Structure 1
């Protein structure tokens, strides 16, 4: 049975990934970085989601067992009127010590004069899988519009400002189950699962 070490200490992400692989009928055990000494410090110096996810996956691989695979993700929001920003700096758009509120405030200020029909954006996620003779990335996106004010109290990050094209509600208003079906991360995960099935794991 193959083991995938996920470069995240987030218990929800570990459970989500294991459940998705189980449902797909894959014989894979998902383990966190704690099982191999903890996640090493990795500087996310890449200019793309692909580059940063590979940096994190390879960072974990350096301390992990030789025969295993290592998975990492990087994600963020791309706003067309801002030439794709915040992009890879979505989590720290308003500064290194900022929080979700500050990031949302900055985006709202920068978009204040942009009309609704020009507020297209997307959440993008890239999963990177590395191991012996393996280096693959899987990208997923969820297209939508950036609202002019926060709507909803759920979710995190830019969720209160993001309305996916498939819904009349923001990511901060829809259920976790509905979000899991259309999210950027879910779509990247579908591609990863398809690739894993081709490897007969």
Structure 2
């Protein structure tokens, strides 16, 4: 079955395609099927936002007569010292329009005087698979690290240059795409999603 990714985020689309490439064919974005959709993320949780994205995308596809499964994602970063902020507001932490550089600058400004041991953080991802006529399948993934005050690495997107991984001695942006797609929050969520998808089919 065709899988449509309910996202306009190029980084997310690239990662989801790489991780889920063996499970669905083809995997395309909403833009690739000619649908322009910008869901208002006004839910109170990652799951609420992901579910809203999935349902709006499914409705748009149905209106076009396109039969496909929909995969949506809502994700962000939670910083312990900031009581879980930016959380569900990660993409627009510094306001609209969403801008990675401004978001990172605001985060680092809030943590500049905070010692490393208090800059613990985790990435969170909620992914939802919506197959026509079936209940949504939901999975979450988490990736622990801490916030570095100086960016490093050219890979990834979002907060990756500042998301330091002590066990690897580098930031998420310094990992190869292949390594990130094995251990990231989104990778873990997608792996769990696929396990639940397979179990549901049996």
- TM-score w.r.t. the length of structure 2 is 0.86
The 3 A distance-change label for structure 1 pair 111 and 35 is closer
Question: What is aligned with 1:3?
Answer: 2
Deviation at 1:17, TM superposition (A): 4.0
Query: For structure 1, which segment, 190-199 or 9-18, has the greater mean C-alpha deviation from structure 2 after superposition?
Result: 9-18
Deviation at 1:99, TM superposition (A): 2.1
Distance in 1 separating the partners of 2:108 and 2:11: 29
Question: What is aligned with 1:51?
Answer: 48
Question: What is aligned with 2:175?
Answer: 174
Query: For structure 1, which segment, 33-42 or 108-117, has the greater mean C-alpha deviation from structure 2 after superposition?
Result: 33-42
Distance in 1 separating the partners of 2:136 and 2:94: 32
Where in structure 1 are there 5+ consecutive unaligned residues?
A: none
Q: Is contact 1:143–1:165 with CA below 8 Å preserved after alignment?
A: no
Q: Is contact 2:11–2:157 with CA below 8 Å preserved after alignment?
A: no
Q: Is contact 2:2–2:69 with CA below 8 Å preserved after alignment?
A: yes
The 3 A distance-change label for structure 1 pair 173 and 145 is same
- Cα deviation digits, residues 126-159 of structure 1 (max 9, x gap): 1012242312221111100111222223322211
Question: What is aligned with 1:99?
Answer: 99
Distance in 1 separating the partners of 2:143 and 2:151: 18
Question: What is aligned with 1:140?
Answer: 141
Q: Is contact 2:3–2:24 with CA below 8 Å preserved after alignment?
A: no
Aligned residues: 198
Deviation at 1:9, TM superposition (A): 4.7
Question: What is aligned with 2:150?
Answer: 149
- Cα deviation digits, residues 7-58 of structure 1 (max 9, x gap): 13567755654554454xx465433324654042311101211111111100
Query: For structure 1, which segment, 64-73 or 38-47, has the greater mean C-alpha deviation from structure 2 after superposition?
Result: 64-73
Distance in 2 separating the partners of 1:72 and 1:136: 11
- Cα deviation digits, residues 63-110 of structure 1 (max 9, x gap): 224864221101111001001001111111111135222111111111
Q: Is contact 2:137–2:197 with CA below 8 Å preserved after alignment?
A: no
